[in-house]
Structure 1
Amino acid sequence: MYRPKTTLEQWRILQAVVDCGGYAHAAAKLNKSQSSLNHAVAKLQSQLGVQLLEVRGRKAYLTEAGEVMLRRSRHLTQNVQDLEVLADSINQDWEPQITLALDLAYPRKLIYPVLRAFYPESRGSRLNILDTVLTGTEEAITQGWADLVIGGTVPRGFLGEPIAEIKFVAVCHPDHPLSAMSSPLDANELLQHLQIVIKDTGQSPDEKQGWLRAEARWTVSQFHMAIDLLLQGLGFCWLPEHEVAHLVDAGRLNRLNIKGSSFRKHINWLVHPRPDAMGPGSKLLSELILSHRQLNHYPPLEIKVGET
């Protein structure tokens, strides 16, 4: 019978050292001494006969072999965590707490009938509903801290069900200089004007979506703040059409027609970060969300994790 040479704790320590950028920060995060972390990683490398890290200056860097081993180790530790969560779910009839992460762009009017239907059946479960944006929504899935996630992307290795279609439009105040320019606008006309953007809630934001080339940018955390700034005649912003349609219709905001991008369309997906560990409350909430979706039927999206 095969006996493992290494332990899960050693792999978790290696992950912490890499994620924190060195032994000192990892020690603080894990509440362990730096020497114990050094010893654990050194022993791990010795047991495997493979150098995983090399220290240059005060920072630890992965070797090529270390990158491969670390990637595989993350699957290992995540699988163990999922097993433990599954055991907890099996041992209890109903979850005491359910966390639902909602991308800020998802129309809130769609979730309210879901919550009304869920409450009488919730059996006292505490429901945490948290706003997320961009990378923050992805992290809710990949880090597994939410039970259900509604967001604009489905990360690799996860399944998603499409539930809503969101259209983003560029808007500004009627008295803003952009409103007076000939339509359609060249995107270069936007460069010298203030752009209002919504803050990415991720721990490691990745600005890979949307147009972000304006010289001046102000970042806010909510749509209502962005809209208030626009109503003051400040800047332009891409916002969900359902958030600004009434203001455009009332003539309080102007919709910008930009050459090559009159609007951006996004699909919102319902994702189960840990499908095997879902309790009955999360399953019921998921079913209710799907029953209130605002789309024709789409097949579920599946993206395979590449094997190393």
Structure 2
Amino acid sequence: MSKTAAPILLFGHSGQLGWELRRTMAPLGAVVSAGVDGADHHVDLTDAEALDILVHELRPALMVNATAYTAVDKAESQEALAFRINAEAVGQMGKLGAELDIPVLHFSTDYVFSGAGDRPWKENDQPDPQSVYGRSKLAGEQALLGSRAETLILRTAWVYGARGSNFLLTMLRLFAQKDRIGVVSDQFGAPTWSRMLAEAAAQVLAQCRTPEGSFSFGLHNGEIFHLTAAGQASWHEFAQAILEMTNEDCIVEAISTEQYPTDAVRPAYSVLNNDSLWDAFGVRLPHWRHGLALCMEELLDKR
């Protein structure tokens, strides 16, 4: 009788990225989820002891962390909670990975950069986060890389999808409710469909899977890669593209960041350079408009 392969342990299963990862990683092995909302294993990442017990009991082949404290503005007043989930828990995953020989795939964010400049950010550019959320995510990267676990970090940005809370769903709701809305036109990034992000991550992991069902990042251990859709847009351009794929009669007005004040500072330029991931794994996402069209097609079919 063959021994059952160790599972892939996924944190953040109910989020827009984690929900997609449960499906895209399924061909790579049994995926079990950990979290507080309908997960296979109930674990609150603010509870360090519970996390420690779970990982020791499961001994997974791989840990994938797609969870995060993402309330960017609330983080300004909830710094301790943001750092517990985005930094301390991630560092604990790394320590457990080092102790039990479990690789860790972790997702990070464009918010680790200042947003100043006008060229796509590369992995080795100097981080300079301007918000509590950004600082907590950078601290998570550093804790994981310093843990001596086998690690791979994928930074992404402007993620949207057919579920959860995101810019696309907010725009669709506002288009149906209002005749005119204002959307910021001086912040730039690459809108990235959560499904394509999850599919690309699974392609990377497939290249790291051994015939025995374990995982190894090999020469790319300890590396950070950027993974977003190709192209760039402002929030206003993104909103306008969404509107053009609906039958709603709404005017999308371009406004400045100053006209839309928020508690946390948003990066003005969040476009990430994805060349390193292509060079290492031959994986690249198509233009953001292509991903949006496919996502909208699915949403409109459901409606």
TM range (shorter): under 0.3
Tell me which of the two structures has the higher relative contact order, counting C-alpha pairs closer than 8 angstroms and 6 or more residues apart. 1
TM-score (norm 1): 0.25
Higher strand proportion: 1
